[in-house]
Amino acid sequence: MWAELLGGMSAAADRLVWVARWELLFSIVLFVIVLGLTGALRNASPVLRHALWGLVLLRLVLPVGLTSPLSIGSIVSQGTQATGAEAFWMGEWPELQAVGGAAGRGGQLTVDATEPSSSGLPVVALWLVGVVVVGAALVRKRRRYGRAIRNAEPVFDTRARSLAESWRASFGVRRGVRLVTSGELGTPFTWGSVRPVVYLPEAVLRQKEAAVLESVIGHEMAHIKRWDDLQLVLQLVLSALYFFNPVAWLAAGRMREESERICDELVLSHNDLSPAAYGRCIVAVARLGFPGEAGPMSALSNSKKTLQTRIRSIMKLKIAATRRLRVAYSLPTAFAFGVFLLPMASGVPSRLSPEAAVASAPQAMEIALANPMPGSRVSAAWGPMIHPFTGEEVHHRGIDLMGRVGAQIHAAGDGVVEEATTEYSGGADHGTVVVLDHGAGIKTFYSHLASLAVQRDQRVSRGDVLGIQGVTGKTTGPHLHFEVWVNGEYVDPALYVADWRSGIPAR
């Protein structure tokens, strides 16, 4: 029982490591592409740039095997003999090969039930420690602002309350918004999404210039309209989960910068403030903030360079009608980019379906095969199964059998030994392999044997011992992977094994 539990944990850990490795690669590639796009689109709407950076974070939560015939992964794979992903995949796990024949014709990747070794367990343990440490640090930082909100007093200033109601109506915000103030923090910020609170430093309320207070409240109300604090929380969660991936942190930071620019545009498009006057107000409030201090989703940034860039963007803002036109094309454009860029796995040409494989088998079973390991249990049947690494449904090209320790593997029928080797040319991860040629275009394949009892070119009879069940190659436990090939195509072994024709037991 403990061995099975450890094997299950090891398999799960290996899947996590495998997924994280590919997500790291895909996100880096996408980050470089988006970095170039946003640089070329620096004069476009910040809504578009914000959405493009959001694609980078979205890539981190999408399935690794996501494909599309119109995606970048499909286009790249069509221009190469084998994609980098597939080449690596085949090298690591040779049983993930193309359906379409033992000769390796193109098709969908399929999987044997064998899995990588337990080397992923220490890596996953370190990852969990990292998530806890980084997550605790982020929570501790965010709680500081929550504490400032709890310790603050309600704003009774009639001018501020009137401006808040005016901006709330202007932006169509239906949620109630509280205004609080204190001298604990020097930067205004918004806290919460469902019941948002705007924190106004006492220094801001004391400003004599009316435009300063109006600019700050308008900007924070724009954050509330956009649910930016909720977006921030999701960004922090992803940053903690992918703390080892700099792309997660960089993309989240770029999204926050673009959020500020979007809110600037919203304020100026709903108010008579000129870009110059609004920019002066932003600078004035920046001078009031404590050195190096910035709220969780504040109107300001503690980066002088970022603030300068933002002021320059404010000065270049167009009239409201132009802004509406720029925003109108932003989301459809970002969606189109997402459809093209997010599915980064290679596209797959037509694959041999289970039904097609059955149809390809001889109508009158020319040979009846025997169960290669009598008394064994089927752990993975032929046909659709959940991919152990991507979690997607794939086609398993054989049947996996688990027997008692030292169980003998028998020839499924009369034939000639085509392969009997510990160094199978199809990949070392198959372990020790036997291939029998039964004639009439039918061959059987046996892998992961512990030892061999036959040799190449030897003639065997049905029931002869080929070897012992083992754990050679990459596998989490002793089992036999058994395949039937008909004229170079993988077919359901149950079509030929009399014991299974009435149905394979549930795995």
pLDDT, tens digit, for every residue of 114-130?
Answer: 333 445 788 889 999 99
pLDDT band at 107 (very low <50, low <70, confident <90, very high): very low
302 pLDDT more than 80:
no
Q: What does the pLDDT read at residue 389?
A: 53
- CATH homologous superfamily for the domain 354-500: Glucose Permease (Domain IIA) (2.70.70.10)
Which residues 6+ apart lie within 8 Å of 216 measured at CB?
Answer: 188, 200, 204, 281, 285, 299
321 pLDDT more than 70:
no
Determine the straight-line distance between the first and last CA of the chain, rounded to whole angstroms: 17
- Structure tokens that stand for 260 in this block: 């500020």
pLDDT band at 327 (very low <50, low <70, confident <90, very high): low
Q: What does the pLDDT read at residue 356?
A: 43
Q: What does the pLDDT read at residue 291?
A: 44
Query: CA 149, CA 181: separation in Å to the nearest integer?
Result: 8
Q: What does the pLDDT read at residue 390?
A: 62
Q: What does the pLDDT read at residue 102?
A: 35
Q: What does the pLDDT read at residue 467?
A: 94
Question: Backbone phi, then psi, for 194, in 5-degree steps?
Answer: -75, -45
Q: What does the pLDDT read at residue 15?
A: 72
pLDDT band at 3 (very low <50, low <70, confident <90, very high): low
Highest mean pLDDT among 162-171, 290-299, 483-492: 162-171
Question: Which has more confidence, 46 or 292?
Answer: 46
pLDDT, tens digit, for every residue of 155-194?
Answer: 999 999 999 999 999 999 999 999 999 988 888 999 999 9
Q: What does the pLDDT read at residue 503?
A: 54
Determine contact, residues 252/238, Cβ cutoff 8 Å.
Answer: yes
**What would the mean pLDDT of 438-445 be, rounded to a whole number?**
90
pLDDT, tens digit, for every residue of 217-256?
Answer: 999 999 999 999 999 999 999 999 999 999 999 999 999 9
Question: Backbone phi, then psi, for 323, in 5-degree steps?
Answer: -60, -45
User: Which SS3 state, helix, strand or coil, does residue 23 take?
Assistant: helix
Query: CA 60, CA 63: separation in Å to the nearest integer?
Result: 8
Q: What does the pLDDT read at residue 475?
A: 78
pLDDT, tens digit, for every residue of 19-46?
Answer: 888 889 899 999 999 999 999 988 888 8
* Domain range list for the chain: 354-500
pLDDT band at 358 (very low <50, low <70, confident <90, very high): very low
Query: CA 95, CA 97: separation in Å to the nearest integer?
Result: 5
Q: What does the pLDDT read at residue 360?
A: 45
Nearest alpha-carbon partner for 206 in 93, 285, 262: 285
Q: What does the pLDDT read at residue 355?
A: 44
Give the 3-state DSSP-derived string for 150-181, with helices as H, strands as E and coil as C.
HHCEECCCHHHHHHHHHHHHHHCCCCCCEEEE
Highest mean pLDDT among 45-54, 367-376, 485-494: 45-54
Name the least confident of 8-22, 118-132, 297-311.
297-311
Q: What does the pLDDT read at residue 154?
A: 95
pLDDT averaged over the chain? 79
pLDDT band at 495 (very low <50, low <70, confident <90, very high): confident
Query: CA 428, CA 186: separation in Å to the nearest integer?
Result: 63
Q: What does the pLDDT read at residue 324?
A: 59
Q: What does the pLDDT read at residue 149?
A: 93
pTM of the model: 0.63
Name the least confident of 64-68, 75-79, 192-196, 441-445.
75-79
User: Which SS3 state, helix, strand or coil, does residue 373 take?
Assistant: coil
274 pLDDT more than 60:
yes
Nearest alpha-carbon partner for 185 in 215, 161, 149: 149
pLDDT, tens digit, for every residue of 371-428?
Answer: 999 988 888 888 877 766 566 777 778 898 988 878 999 999 999 999 999 998 888 8
